[in-house]
Amino acid sequence: MNRRRISAPAGLLVALLLAGSLLPPVEANPPQSVTLEYDAASGQLNVTIGHFTLNGATHYIFKVVVERNSVVNLTANYASQPTNNIFTYTYNIDAVDGDTLRATASCILGGDASGSVTVSVAPPPDLIPPLVDIVNPGNLQVFNTSNIVVNGTASDNVAVSKVEVSQNNGTWATASGTTDWSVPVTLVLGPNFIRARATDTSNNTNLDFVYVTLINDTGPQPDTTPPSIMISAPLESQTINVSAIEIRGNASDNAGVRLVEVRLNGGAWTEAAGNTTWSSPATLALGANLVEARATDTSSNTATTSVNVTYRNETGPPPDTVRPSITIIQPSEGQKFNVTAADVSGTASDNAGLNKVWVRVNSGAWGLATGKTAWNSSVTLVNGGNLIEAVAYDTSGNTATAMVNVTYAAPPPPPPPPVDTTLPAIAISAPAEGTIFTSASITVNGTASDNVKVDRVEVRLGTGAWTAAAGNLTWTATLTLAEGKNVIEARAFDAAGNSKNASVTVYYTKPGNAATLDGSISSGEYDLKATFSGGDFELHWKVSAASSGWPWSAEPPAGWPSASSPR
C-alpha cells in the first residue's frame, strides 16, 4: 500500500483554510441606534451611537453628520471608534427653541443610521413684580360712613393674575377685575389700614396701602354726586370709513365707578370692559351714528355723554393711523415754581388735522386747552413734585402725549411783626382831681392813644371790678360814688396787651343844712356853705365853734381834709 506524504507547507495551508471557514464573513454593519440630547444651557449636543464590532480599528463609525433644520451644521470624521458597542460623541451646536437637530452615523463597511431631537429652551424666569395702585380712597381720607368701595389699577410685564385687598391686616379678599379692580370694604370706627396686593402669573407680588379714618357711623350718608364720564374715541363729528370701531374713554366718581355701559343709535346698553378706563367694540351703521356712554357709581348715580360720528363706507380712503405730535414749551423740564398757579403752553401738529388738546397735572382730571396747533392751559401745583401731561387728539382719534416734571416749593411764611412794648397813654378829662360832688351818679370821660391801636378802656371805683368804658380814643363811663373819698381809676390796653393807668380822687357828701359865715353859729355839727364876693364856697364839714364865735375850728369826717378859721 502506497502512502502519500503531505509536506509541511501544504498542511499549513489546509489548516488555514479550515480556520478561515470557521470565522464569520465581514459584511456591512450599520449602527444599531443613534440618540441625541441637547443641553441648551451649555450648547452641547450629545450623540450616543450603538455600533457593535469585533475590531474597532477596522470596523467602526467613520463619520457623523449633524444637521440643524435640515441644513448641515458640521461633519466629524473618525479613524476608529472608542468602544466595540455603545459610545457618545459631544459637539458644540448653537440652537434656539424649536430647532430640529439630526445626526447621521455611517459605518466604514457601509450602512448608516440617524436620530433627531427638537430643541426646547425654557424661558427665563419672570422676576419682575407687578405694579398696583389704590386710586380710591385717598391716603389719610376721613369718612363718616362705614361702607366704601376700594378701587385701583394694576399692571405687569406679562400679566396680572389677581388683585386682593386686606383691611387692618385681616384676610385677603379677591377684588373684581385685575388691571382695573374694585372691592367693597366696611370700615371700623377710628383708623383703618387698607392694603392692595397684586399677583402676576409667575407669583410675583407687590403692595400698595393707604390709611383712612372713620370718625363716626351715623348710617350711610346718601351719595348724590353723579360720576363723570368722557368718550376719548371716536371724536365728536368724526367721519369713519370702517364700520367696526372701538369706543374708549374714562370715568371717575367721588366714591367709585361701578360700571360703564355703551350703546349705539338708541339701542340696548352693553357693559364696557373696565371702569375708570373703559372700552367697548361697536359696529356703525352707514351714515350718521349716535354713540352714547353711561357711567353708574356705587350709589346708582349715573352720568351720560355722547358723540356724533358718520360712517361713510368701507371702500373709501385708508384710515389715518398716523399719530399727531405734541410738545410742551412752557414750563420746561425740572422747572421750579414758588406759586401754585402754572401756565402750560405748547404746540401740536398732525398730518390730517388736530381735534383737541387736553392737559392735566398729577393724574387728575383732564382740562381742555385753548387752541390746537398753538395751545395753552393752566394747572394748580401741589407742594413737591408735579407731573404735567398734555395729550393731542387728531380727527381720526389718534393720540400723542407729552409730559414734563416740575417742582413747587411753598414760600416761607413772612416773619412775625416786631413785639410791641410801647405802653398806651390815657388821661381822665373829667372830673378833675379833688372835685366834691353832692350827687352820687357821675360821668367820667377822657382820652387814650397808642403807637399801634387802643384795644379797650376800663374804669373802676376804688378796688371794685373793672368795667368797660364806651369808646377807645375818646371814652366815657358812668360811676356811682360812695360817701366820702372816692378814687377813680381808668386803664387803657393796646392790641399787644400793654396797659397804662390814670386816676383822680373826688369826694361825695350828701346834701345837708347850709350855714353862712355872715351870722352867728352855735357849737354843733353842720354842713357849712360859705358865700363870698368871688362866689360860693362849700365846705360840707362838721363844725365845732367856741361859744364866743371866733376863732373856730372844724374837724372833717374821716378821709376829708382839715381846716381852721383865720384869726
Quickly tell me which residue has 407687578 as its cell: 130
Q: What is the pLDDT of residues 28-83, one digit of tens each?
A: 578 989 999 999 888 899 999 988 888 878 899 999 999 999 999 999 999 888 98
Q: What is the pLDDT of residues 452-492, one digit of tens each?
A: 999 999 999 999 999 999 999 999 999 999 999 999 999 99
For each of the domains in the chain, give its residue range(s) and CATH number, in order of start: 33-118 (2.60.40.10), 131-214 (2.60.40.10), 228-311 (2.60.40.10), 325-408 (2.60.40.10), 425-507 (2.60.40.10), 512-567 (no CATH)
What does the block give as the cell for 328?
410742551
Quickly tell me which residue has 391801636 as its cell: 453
- With a cut of 80, say whether residue 18 has pLDDT above it: no
Quickly tell me which residue has 414758588 as its cell: 338
- Dist. CA 376–CA 368, nearest whole Å: 9
Residue 390 phi, psi (nearest 5): -135, 130
SS3 530: strand
Residue 267 near residue 247 (C-beta atoms within 8 A): no
Q: What is the pLDDT of residues 239-291, one digit of tens each?
A: 888 889 999 999 999 888 999 999 999 999 999 999 989 999 999 998 899 99
Nearest to 199 by CA among 167, 156, 166: 156
Quickly tell me which residue has 452641547 as its cell: 44
- Dist. CA 190–CA 141, nearest whole Å: 12
Nearest to 431 by CA among 467, 478, 472: 478
Quickly tell me which residue has 369826694 as its cell: 507
> H/E element holding 236?
none
> With the CA atoms of 174, 179, 183 and 187 taken in that order, what torsion angle do they form, in degrees rounded to the nearest 10?
100
Q: What is the pLDDT of residues 522-556, one digit of tens each?
A: 555 555 544 443 444 455 455 554 444 444 555 55
What does the block give as the cell for 423?
405802653
Q: Which contacts of 514-523 are long-range, i.e. CB under 8 A and separated by 24 or more positions?
A: 515/543, 520/549, 521/545, 521/549, 521/552, 523/547
Nearest to 199 by CA among 179, 214, 184, 185: 179
